[in-house]
Amino acid sequence: MELLVAVMVGVMVAASVHLMLARNVLRFIFGLILISNAANLTIFAAGRLTPERPPLIPEGADAPAAQVANALPQALVLTAIVIGFGLFAFALTLVYRTYQTLGTLNSDEMRLAEPRGEDGS
């Protein structure tokens, strides 16, 4: 199971790196979204995958009855998803505003803050 998830993470990272190497900033953002999901899967798999029960403690007991899935990676992934959601919502809005203002999404043409020529770069 871990192997399968590992392969999946690898494929996702490869795809997102491909996207992130594009000059189009929107593609870059899509690559980021994909790679952030790969990171979430990594955390999830790092907490060991077990085909067990959900980590719920029955009414009246202090500990789960049998072996249950690891709850911590789930909490971490949830936090990461929530944060990622906020960040990517912001990033998409920013890219949209930039496109409206600068009229381009090609990162090579975005040189306003660092004009060509003056510093030879």
Partner 1 sequence: MMNSVILNAATRLLVSLLVLFSIYMLLRGHNLPGGGFIGGLTGATGFVLYAIAHGTEATRAALRVEPQNIAMIGLGVALAAGVSAAIFGDAFFTGQWLFLGATEDDKGLPLSSVLVFDIGVYLVVFGSILTLVLALEEEV
Partner 2 sequence: MSWTLASPIIIPFATAVLAFLFRRGPEGRWLSVIGAAALLIASGLLMAEVWAEGVVAAQMGGWAAPFGITLVADLLSAVMVVITGITGLAVAVYALADVDARKEELGFHALFQVLLAGVCGAFLTGDIFNLYVWFEVMLIASFGLLILGGRREQLDGGVKYVTLNLVSTILFLSAVGLLYGMTGTLNMADLHGAVQEVDNPGLLVTVAVMFMVAFGVKAAVFPLFFWLPASYHTPAFSVSAIFAGLLTKVGVYALVRVFTLIFTTDVAYTHTILLWVAGLTMITGVLGAAAMNDFRRILSFHIVSQIGYMILGLALFTPLAIVGAVFYIVHHIIVKANLFLVAGVAKRIAGSTDLAAIGGLYRTAPLLGLLFLIPAFSLAGFPPLSGFWAKYVLVKASLDAQSYWIAAVALVVGLLTIYSMTKIWGAAFWTPHPEGRAPRLTDLPARDRAALLVPIASLAALTCVIGFYPEPFVVFAERSAAQLLDPAAYVGAVLGEASGAAAEAGPGLAEPEGGQ
Interface ranges with partner 1 (CB under 8 A): 82, 86, 89-90, 93, 96-97, 100
Single out the residue of 1, 7, 46, 65 in contact with partner 2 (rule: CB under 8 A).
46
CB contact at 8 A, 88 and 34: no
Judged by beta carbon distances under 5 to 8 A according to partner kind, the member of partner 2, partner 1, none in contact with residue 83 is partner 2
Half-sphere exposure (Cβ direction) of 13: Cα atoms closer than 13 Å: 11
Judged by beta carbon distances under 5 to 8 A according to partner kind, the member of partner 1, partner 2, none in contact with residue 95 is partner 2
Return the DSSP state at 107: G
How far is the CA of 51 from the CAs of 5, 62, 113, in angstroms? Answer: 14, 22, 52
113 is a site residue for partner 2 (CB under 8 A):
yes
Judged by beta carbon distances under 5 to 8 A according to partner kind, the member of partner 2, partner 1, none in contact with residue 96 is partner 1
CB contact at 8 A, 41 and 74: no
Angle between helices 25-46 and 2-20 (to 10 degrees): 160
Judged by beta carbon distances under 5 to 8 A according to partner kind, the member of partner 2, partner 1, none in contact with residue 26 is none
Closest separation in Å from C-beta 96 to partner 1:
7
111 is a site residue for partner 2 (CB under 8 A):
yes
